[in-house]
Amino acid sequence: MSLDGTYDPANIFAKIVRGEMPSAKVYEDADTLAFMDVFPQAPGHVLVIHKSATARNLLEMEDAPLQAVMRTTQKVARAVRAALKPDAIAVMQFNGAASGQTVYHLHFHIIPRQEGVPLGRHASGGMADPKVLAEQARAIAAEIR
């Protein structure tokens, strides 16, 4: 898919926001939602989205919802650090298919990294155990300030 197109309200993240699909929630406020990636590139991989914005990518996002998503991304990244004690944290965001974007609802990846451990492949690894994701979500959520 190109950078241009029409937002699809049936995308998986929109379904999660509406409660039509389950997720291991880490954090939620009036505007944003953070939840565990079911195809994690590393243990503790979290996704952050805006709940009502219909931007497919960064280039389409309005200022106010982008600010809300960035505040939540920082808040959750701090909690990931406190809960999981990684050596580093990668914050990633993809725009268009050629960049690796697979869900066309603007989202940010928070990926804990450990020295010497390779990063899993984006959107192509195996699905994580829901119980493990729920445990990770609880540990991270407990550190949100």
pLDDT value at residue 92: 97
What DSSP string runs through the chain?
Answer: --S-----TTSHHHHHHTTSS---EEEE-SSEEEEE-SS-SSTT-EEEEESS---SSGGG--HHHHHHHHHHHHHHHHHHHHHH--SEEEEE---SGGGT--S-S-EEEEEEE-TTPPPPPTTTSPPPPHHHHHHHHHHHHTT--
How many other β-carbons are positioned within 10 Å of the β-carbon of residue 37?
A: 23
Mean pLDDT of 7-32: 97
Domains of the chain (ranges; CATH) run 12-141 (3.30.428.10)
Q: Residues with catalytic annotation?
A: 107
pLDDT value at residue 123: 72
Instruction: Express each pLDDT in 80-123 by its tens digit.
Output: 999 999 999 999 999 999 999 999 999 999 999 999 999 988 77
* Cα gap 88→20, rounded to integer Å: 33
Instruction: Express each pLDDT in 2-16 by its tens digit.
Output: 799 999 999 999 999
Mean pLDDT of 66-92: 98
Answer yes or no: are the C-beta atoms of 115 and 87 closer than 8 Å: yes
